[in-house]
Amino acid sequence: MRNLKCSCISSFEPPPDNEIIGPVAPRGGPNGLLLRHGKLVASWGDTRQVDMTFSVAKSYLSILAGIAVADGLIPDLDAPIRETVDDGGFDSEHNAPITWRQMLQLTSEWEGSLFGKSEQIDRNCSLTSEAAGRPAGAKGAARPLQTPGTFWEYNDVRVNRLSLALLRRFGRALPQVFAERIMQPLGASSDWRWEGYRSSFVDVGGNQVQSVSGGGHWGGGAFIHAEDQARIGLLMLRGGMWGDQRVLPADGSLPPSPLAR
């Protein structure tokens, strides 16, 4: 990708854009653990305390996208999403050429509203400067949309649009797929959950299924403890292997890390 540009300012949005529409939970005390060569070497606090984990859910969506590719549900990451997802979200002239890769890399510039939230809420959003102050009204201010694939922006509505597209391809709730394909093979607990919004139920084969969010922005997202997250991290470190079982598809460009041996 060449000539990528990025917006540079951010803050929390004003009402009514900041309305919480998904479940939230109070944060518990600090906790965590350290693994070396797959062995626990240190821990602190209650590592089975289930907390909101916000944008870690974006990584879970990328894992599911990889599974969708391996299963043939996404034949080509560089193909327009509208070729395999026909729900009106990619019908406009601007959205029609958007590819899976662009959605995964946050360069899609997808335009529209989803579950009561407009993507313009997160225009001009940059997490690197969120704590540094901003000119009044910068985040959410209108700016011309760029050609898909040429402009990077952290945008939670667009991530949620990716989540919905993946739901369409799997044809069932993403937490069910994640449980069966990732968490159960890892021997994870049943303590975790992955939530969407009260407005994010969609029809899938005649059933109302909740499309999950890619983070805790406006509520929802992944609620999980450190021990289960460590299992997912170790799976990635091992290149998709868990013991002698391949849980994630092999990628010749990314062999298992020697640190995991």
What pLDDT shows up at residue 129?
52
Pairing of strands 151-152, 5-6: parallel
Q: pLDDT: is 255 or 112 the higher one?
A: 112
Quote the Cα angle for 137-155-226, to 5°.
Answer: 115
Please list, residue by residue across 54-93, b when 16 or more beta carbons sit within 10 angstroms of its beta carbon and e when fewer do. ebbbbbbbebbbbbbeeeebbeebeebbbebbeeebbeee
**CB-CB contact of 159 with 215 (8 Å):** yes
Nearest CA to 106 out of 144, 48, 153 is that of: 153
Where does 46-260 sit in CATH, by number?
Answer: 3.40.710.10
Nearest CA to 174 out of 76, 68, 24 is that of: 68
Q: What is the mean pLDDT of residues 109-124?
A: 95
The answer to whether residue 199 scores a pLDDT higher than 90 is: yes
Q: Is 212 helix (H, G, I), strand (E, B) or coil?
A: strand
The answer to whether residue 252 scores a pLDDT higher than 80 is: no
Nearest CA to 1 out of 150, 209, 161 is that of: 150
The count of other CB atoms within 10 Å of the CB of residue 30 is 9
The answer to whether residue 258 scores a pLDDT higher than 60 is: no
From 123-137, 197-211, 217-231, 243-257, the region with the lowest mean pLDDT: 123-137
* Residue ranges of domains in the chain: 46-260
CA pseudo-torsion sign 86, 88, 90, 91: positive
From 2-6, 127-131, 165-169, 240-244, the region with the lowest mean pLDDT: 2-6
What pLDDT shows up at residue 3?
47
What pLDDT shows up at residue 251?
66
The answer to whether residue 217 scores a pLDDT higher than 70 is: yes
Q: What are phi and psi of 163, to 5 degrees?
A: -60, -45
The answer to whether residue 53 scores a pLDDT higher than 90 is: yes
User: Between 226-237 and 56-70, two packed helices, what is the crossing angle to 10 degrees?
Assistant: 40
Q: What is the mean pLDDT of residues 105-124?
A: 96
The answer to whether residue 255 scores a pLDDT higher than 50 is: no
CA neighbours closer than 13 Å in the CB half-sphere of residue 188: 27
- 130-177 per-position pLDDT tens digit: 545 545 447 877 889 999 999 999 999 999 999 999 999 999 999 999
The answer to whether residue 186 scores a pLDDT higher than 90 is: yes
- 10-31 per-position pLDDT tens digit: 346 889 999 999 999 999 999 9
Burial class (CB in 10 A: 0-12, 13-18, 19+), 159: buried
Percent of the chain with pLDDT over 70: 87
